[in-house]
A and B are shown apart, each in its own frame.
Chain A
């Protein structure tokens, strides 16, 4: 039997396909308006801050902090069931985007993950996409 796999994003979703395309080069892309400077994330085609601007793609350094998290103890999804306990977190990147991801690179998420902790993107490789996970770093 095949190993269960993480649910992967669709490459053909209109608003987010550029983001996922960027992950192939290990780029964490986000958008900013060239008129009102609004940072837009999740990706969209239109600026949510004004009606005049165009969104420009930028690349984040991939550094941020844990805004909040939970350690999942029970999941019925085949892949995640094999991963419990694992940490799900909202990460605030330095450039502004807030992204939902996992905290990896810790032996025990129950004791080693905390709110406000500094993290850095760590790419999980797949065939046609890389997934942005986050690992703790020194402040």
Chain B
């Protein structure tokens, strides 16, 4: 099967600060990241003719963001599906570029969740809204963490998965974070108590937040943002850095249904779409950039993306398999340190694309030797109830 090379990531930037101390706005983070990503590509604002935006900057999203950037794009896509928005955006950019609707697509993200002191994980989920689903749920006091914890509990019940097995996710990402100076700085700025490589014992002995998830199985709440520039092949060939091709994509959502299986996610739908389009399999992936809101998110998504069978993720992940320096055993996981230990301002999907592109360019702090293929999978919303799944397969020349 020949892979179609319709569009490539040509520019990336991760906003370095995780604590802007209330001095910078999300829109400012988006714009600065955009300029740096365009610079990375060797392009300029005037080259951009497609904007992809999840609306987190406020205003009327798609109506106001072009003006803020000072652009006149021919494509404006405002898909907003939580943390996986950027995988959806990458998929749509590829589709729009292939259709000739635009040639240079700009994806940006900015958030000051930490400065705003938003309790993302343990906020009450109180206050019913006018959405019918939320009007049924709000009374129960399900925190975000409890939502994911209910997935973990059922996973343990069905398959015998243990906290020690889930801890493997946390210690692999922390190992990678300790090799990433920006992640170490993030943990310092956010006043992590213990900034070092962790052990399984550290994780399972950390404070329980919502059974069975412990503190060190939960992502941080940071400020941050970033940008990704995606371009048509004729432009990508002339950019400053080598192109990282978008080879395949998949999108899906899942929600509670009668008798539904909470231990499997919308990735069971988006993953096969993406692999199929790219003509590849999970076994070929060198890099797995998987949305790590919590340990259980990663375990569930790795199973659903075909790295092992459903229910076998716990045993499969044991023994450090997901480390960057064990390439023969399977993919390296979240080599930037992930949301658990580097950067989680609320919707970290853009960082999955950024670090995957770094790996395929050979620029990661935890570089996998000769990495050729990567999967970036974003999860938006809440895994244990209604959530979105965006899978992107990336490859280099």
Provide the residues of chain B in CB contact with A96, threshold 8 Å: 258-259
Nearest chain-A residue to B158 (Cβ)?
A115
CA distance A60 to B376 in the complex (A): 43
Q: How far is the CB of B69 from chain A (nearest CB, A)?
A: 35
Q: Are B137 and A100 in contact (CB under 8 A)?
A: yes
Chain B, 117-157, contact with A by CB distance < 8 Å: what is the 0/1 string? Answer: 00100111111101111011111111101110111011001
Q: Are A98 and B258 in contact (CB under 8 A)?
A: yes
Nearest chain-B residue to A41 (Cβ)?
B258
Question: Is the C-beta of A36 less than 8 angstroms from some C-beta in chain B?
Answer: no
Q: Are A72 and B210 in contact (CB under 8 A)?
A: yes
Q: Are B258 and A90 in contact (CB under 8 A)?
A: no
Q: Give how many A-B residue pairs fall within 8 Å (CB-CB).
A: 139
Q: How far is the CB of A51 from chain B (nearest CB, A)?
A: 19
Q: Are A7 and B209 in contact (CB under 8 A)?
A: no
Provide the residues of chain A in CB contact with B46, threshold 8 Å: none
Q: How far is the CB of A61 from chain B (nearest CB, A)?
A: 16
Question: Is the C-beta of A39 less than 8 angstroms from some C-beta in chain B?
Answer: yes
Provide the residues of chain B in CB contact with A80, threshold 8 Å: 124, 126, 141, 143
Nearest chain-A residue to B149 (Cβ)?
A70
Provide the residues of chain B in CB contact with A98, threshold 8 Å: 256-260
Question: Is the C-beta of A35 less than 8 angstroms from some C-beta in chain B?
Answer: no
Question: Is the C-beta of B264 less than 8 angstroms from some C-beta in chain A?
Answer: no
Question: Is the C-beta of A56 less than 8 angstroms from some C-beta in chain B?
Answer: no
Q: How far is the CB of B346 from chain A (nearest CB, A)?
A: 16
Chain B, 296-322, contact with A by CB distance < 8 Å: what is the 0/1 string? Answer: 000000000000000000000000000
Provide the residues of chain B in CB contact with A116, threshold 8 Å: 157
Q: A102 touches which one: B119, B136, B140, B208 (CB < 8 A)?
A: B140
Question: Is the C-beta of A92 less than 8 angstroms from some C-beta in chain B?
Answer: yes
Q: Are A72 and B132 in contact (CB under 8 A)?
A: no
Q: How far is the CB of B63 from chain A (nearest CB, A)?
A: 27
Question: How extensive is the interface on chain A, given as a class?
Answer: 35 or more
Provide the residues of chain A in CB contact with B125, threshold 8 Å: 77
Q: Are A9 and B139 in contact (CB under 8 A)?
A: yes
CA distance A121 to B256 in the complex (A): 20
Provide the residues of chain A in CB contact with B332, threshold 8 Å: none
Q: Are B151 and A68 in contact (CB under 8 A)?
A: yes
Chain A, 111-122, contact with B by CB distance < 8 Å: what is the 0/1 string? Answer: 000011000000
Question: How extensive is the interface on chain B, given as a class?
Answer: 35 or more
Question: Is the C-beta of B211 less than 8 angstroms from some C-beta in chain A?
Answer: yes
Q: Are B139 and A7 in contact (CB under 8 A)?
A: yes
**A97 and B150 contact, Cβ closer than 8 Å, known pairs A10-B128, A80-B124, A115-B157:** no
Q: How far is the CB of B163 from chain A (nearest CB, A)?
A: 13
Question: Is the C-beta of A75 less than 8 angstroms from some C-beta in chain B?
Answer: yes
Question: Is the C-beta of B253 less than 8 angstroms from some C-beta in chain A?
Answer: no
Q: Are A77 and B124 in contact (CB under 8 A)?
A: yes
Q: Are A10 and B135 in contact (CB under 8 A)?
A: yes
Nearest chain-A residue to B137 (Cβ)?
A100
Question: Is the C-beta of B184 less than 8 angstroms from some C-beta in chain A?
Answer: no
Question: Is the C-beta of A63 less than 8 angstroms from some C-beta in chain B?
Answer: no
CA distance A78 to B149 in the complex (A): 21
Q: Are A88 and B256 in contact (CB under 8 A)?
A: no
Q: Are B126 and A16 in contact (CB under 8 A)?
A: no
Question: Is the C-beta of B262 less than 8 angstroms from some C-beta in chain A?
Answer: yes
Q: A6 touches which one: B130, B139, B149, B208 (CB < 8 A)?
A: B139
Q: Are A7 and B132 in contact (CB under 8 A)?
A: no
Chain A, 1-13, contact with B by CB distance < 8 Å: what is the 0/1 string? Answer: 0000011111001
Q: Are B258 and A39 in contact (CB under 8 A)?
A: yes
**A70 and B141 contact, Cβ closer than 8 Å, known pairs A10-B135, A15-B132, A99-B136:** no
Question: Is the C-beta of A24 less than 8 angstroms from some C-beta in chain B?
Answer: no
Nearest chain-A residue to B212 (Cβ)?
A70
Chain B, 257-297, contact with A by CB distance < 8 Å: what is the 0/1 string? Answer: 11110100000000000000000000000000000000000
Q: Are A74 and B122 in contact (CB under 8 A)?
A: yes
Q: What would be 11 A-B contacts, judged by CB atoms less than 8 Å apart? A: A9-B138, A9-B139, A10-B128, A13-B128, A70-B149, A70-B153, A72-B146, A75-B122, A76-B124, A77-B125, A89-B150
Instruction: List the 5 closest pairs (A to B, CB-CB), nearest first.
Output: A77-B124, A70-B149, A15-B132, A7-B126, A68-B154
